[in-house]
Amino acid sequence: MKFAILSDIHANFEALEAVLRDIEAAHIQRIFCLGDIVGYGANPNECCTRISEIAEARVLGNHDEACLGKGHIEHFNSVARMAALWTQKVMDEPTRDYLERAPMSFPLLTGDVEALLVHASPYHPNDWHYVLSEHDAAAAFRSCPDKLIFVGHSHVPGIFVERGGEVIFHRALAATLEPDARYLVNVGSVGQPRDGDPRGAWCLLDGEARTVTVNRVTYDVEAAQAKIRAAKLPEILASRLAWGE
């Protein structure tokens, strides 16, 4: 069975629709979302509606939490805080209810594969730790027994491999899952990539072939930018989409 795992949509409807077209073309059977559906972008309600239609499960992200008025918004930088406050004002009740019911983590258990889905790190997930280094990944591996972990949050795709107690980071966006290793896969961001590549990202998990692959998808960046500007959100939220940073 093939699974699509996506994260950090950030209310970018143009990127989400392009990624979903790519997922459909890949004949994916099941779709999961790692959170941060809202925040930053101009289409929070539309993105939540779309995810609720196609995702089998989703987990809570820190921007989802902040836009519900429950997170530590004072810890956000000024741009993120302005976007969260704007989102709080425009979110409709179905969006709010959908985000309210999202769990912190979700176990993906099938005949083909077992994995843990979480927005940030499985190490104290409520604290929203980034997994940016081998040290961060080692803490994540120690915190749970799972051999395969999917995360988002940093918007930077990549794969951490733990074998024999040693953790190594691979920027390669594809791997074959070996039985003697554990894997933590950052699936990247649909709506606001930060690895220098402006294309949206999503991860394909092939349970039968035992492979993971992060795919990149071109979308209408200018349309997403125009919506952000029309909403009078901070200009950096529009301009950075063209840079992938």
Q: What is the CATH number of the domain that holds 146?
A: 3.60.21.10
Helix (H, G, I), strand (E, B) or coil at 135: helix
Q: What is the spatial order of strands in the sheet that 57-58 belongs to?
A: 57-58, 30-33, 2-6, 200-206, 211-217, 174-176
Structural domain that includes position 121: 2-243
pLDDT digits (tens, 9 = 90+) for 181-219: 999 999 999 999 999 999 999 999 999 999 999 999 999
Whether residue 26 contacts residue 208, with contact meaning beta carbons closer than 8 Å, is answered with no
pLDDT digits (tens, 9 = 90+) for 64-84: 999 999 877 888 999 999 999
DSSP, residue by residue, 185-208: EE---SS---SS--SEEEEEEETT
Residues of the chain with pLDDT under 70: none
DSSP state of 182: E
Number of domains, the chain: 1
pLDDT at 75: 84
Q: What percent of the chain has pLDDT over 90?
A: 91
- Chain centroid to Cα 166, Å, comes to 26
Closest C-alpha among 83, 50, 69 to residue 192: 83
